[in-house]
Structure formats: C-alpha cells, structure tokens
Chains A and B, each alone.
Chain A
Amino acid sequence: MKVKIVKNILDANDQMALENKKFFDAAGVLAINIMASPGAGKTSLILKTIDLLGLPVAVIEGDIASSFDAEKVGAKRVPVVQINTGGACHLDAAMVRKAVKKLSLKGARLLFVENVGNLVCPADFKLGESAKVVVASVPEGDDKPYKYPGMFSAATAVVLNKIDTLPVIDFDMRRFKKGVHAVNAAAPLFEVSCKTGEGLDSWIEWLRKLAN
C-alpha cells in the first residue's frame, strides 16, 4: 500500500529554527548566521565588528573542536558560548537552541552565530537567523561563487575579506562579482580587510541599518 507523505526532509530543523526565531524576536535580538570556508576570516570579522559597531552583541561560536574562537571573543567582554559539534560539518537549529540557553542576551541587539567552516552544508540548515552572511576571502580564489552556488545563493550579504592581499594574489574581481551576481543578484557585497580595516565602514553601516 502506498502512503503519500510529501514532507520536507529538513522539516524538523526548519520548525525548530522557526521557534528560535520567535525566541530571538521576543528577546529583541537579531541573529546573523556567519558562514564561510575555514580560514576566510569569520572570527576576525566578528572581532572587528564588535570593535566598530558600538552596539551590544552576543556571539555563538561553532567549531568541530576547540574553544580558541570563543576565548578571543570573550576577551572583548562580550557574552559568548562555544558549540563543539564533535565532527558535524554544520550547526543546526537544535544546537543553537541549546547554546542560547547558556548565553546572556540581555540588552544585546545582534547575535552573531559563527558556523562551522564549510561552504556546503551550513547553507541548508536554518538556525533562526534573520540574515545569512557569507564571508569569502581573496586567497581562496575568484571561482568560489561558481563552485559553491548553493552557499552564495543563500546569502543575504557577501563579505569579501583580505582585500589587502589583492596586489600579490591573482584574483579577478570582475569574475568574482559576476559569479556572485549570477546566483544572487540581491545580496550586497562588501570588500573588506579585517587586517587594515579597509571597507569595514559600509559593512558596519549595513549592520546598523539591519539592527534598527
């Protein structure tokens, strides 16, 4: 006997993400899911943003193992919780729900959720965020939007980090932009260097608008 089901495979996660979103709304905080490959500069971007934003924030750090990132954020006297996925290649809504219980969101306007370094899986798992930010970096190459269209098409905004390395790396900016635009015509692109601070002003301005 055939039984019709038609149920989204990620439905359980989507439902929990929806609950997380309600929880964040009630707490008056906007969650931002930060995704990138390992080493693109997710943590550096969060650290620089904390310095420049001038708004109270909280941070959830996702990694397979270690608490290096949470320690760096904690040094800024910002509420932070580390999630260790123990091997899982992405955060899911249940992990965020558990982490957020350990976090003081009081007064916070933005919650940065740093996903596991990976340009594939995190794109599919909603966490309850209001915006997805994909961080790419110059040394990774200009072909990333073409190779990982799922990730770039899911982005609310794209940050291209490490532009200070442009003089020494063969990176075709036109090709990169064309690739982002092909899969996602709506997302703004911020060209920044977390090392020199170049370009961060427009990123910060975008975040402030989002928070208001």
Chain B
Amino acid sequence: MHELAITQNIVDIVLKEAPDRKVKNITIVIGELAGIIEDSVRFCFDLVAADTSVKGAALTFQRVPARIRCNQCDFEFKMDNGDWACPRCGNLGGQVIQGRECYVESIEVEDN
C-alpha cells in the first residue's frame, strides 16, 4: 500500500519530462512481482495530479508476467499464481529473471 508514493513519483517523472505540455496518456510497465496495485494507483492519481498539467491523463498499464529460473535445473518458467515450484523438476525456488519492472515507459502529449 505505498501506491500514493508510487503515484507521486509517476506524476513527478512526467512533469519533469513534459513540464508545459498537455499529457493525454501515461504508459506504465508493472511486473507481476512489483507489488503495485493498478486500481490503487488510479485512485491516487486523481488526487496527486489535481492542479497539474497531467490532470485528466489516461493511465495505461502494461503488466509483465513473472519468469523464474529454477535453482536446481536452470529451467526457465512463467510463474503461475505465485507458485515458485519448477514445472520440470518440482524444486521450489529460483531467480526472478522478469517481473519486478516498475517504470514509466512513455507518455502521449498533445501536439504543439
């Protein structure tokens, strides 16, 4: 539940990139393991963006599934439902190779 801080950072990043442009859309990439709740960011966004030039911008979320490399057999697999067990050898656990992403990918601004 640190989405307020997350959302404040999103707005700060966008305002820095486009201080004097009307922002129509913000695309945010969030990994499955980043622990960020889309609905909470949307809720916070209206509060944080009020009185700024990003007010009213749409938010597009691109979710990145988690991928794990098994500690035991090196098999790479997509994590299903938070399950760390390797589907090939059954070992529980591995390295996260994808799924912690948390960044502002791009913005769509009104043409000057």
Contacts and interface: CB of A to CB of B under 8 A. Distances in A.
Size class of the contact patch on chain B: 20 to 34
A121 B33 contact: no
B103 A183 contact: no
Interface string B92-111: 11101000001111111111
B2 A124 contact: yes
A3 B18 contact: yes
Interface in A47-88: 88
B104 A9 contact: yes
Contacts, number: 86
A90 interface: yes
Contacts of A183: 84, 93
- With a 10 A CB-CB cut-off, give which of A5, A149, A179 has the most chain B CB atoms: A5
B71 interface: yes
B5 interface: yes
Contact of A6 (B33, B34, B105, B111): B105
Contact of B13 (A2, A9, A179, A181): A9
A125 B8 CA distance: 14
Interface in A1-59: 1-13
Interface of chain A: mostly helix, strand, loop or mixed? mixed
Given A4-B106, A12-B12, A149-B84, A89 B2 contact: yes
B109 A6 contact: no
A146 B109 CA distance: 42
Contacts of A5: 13-14, 17, 103-107
A153 interface: yes
Nearest to B107: A3
B92 A182 contact: yes
B84 to A, nearest CB: 5
28 contacts: A1-B109, A1-B111, A2-B106, A3-B17, A3-B106, A4-B105, A5-B13, A5-B17, A5-B103, A5-B106, A6-B104, A6-B105, A7-B103, A7-B104, A9-B6, A9-B104, A10-B6, A12-B12, A13-B9, A90-B5, A92-B5, A120-B1, A124-B35, A150-B33, A179-B92, A181-B93, A183-B84, A185-B71
Interface of A: 1-13, 88-90, 92, 120-121, 123-125, 149-150, 153, 178-179, 181-183, 185
User: Nearest 10 pairs between A and B by C-beta?
Assistant: A182-B93, A121-B2, A182-B92, A182-B84, A8-B103, A5-B104, A9-B102, A9-B9, A4-B106, A3-B107
Given A1-B108, A7-B104, A125-B5, 4 more contacts: A8-B103, A88-B5, A121-B2, A150-B33
Interface of B: 1-2, 5-6, 9-10, 12-14, 17-18, 28, 33-35, 71, 82, 84, 92-94, 96, 102-111
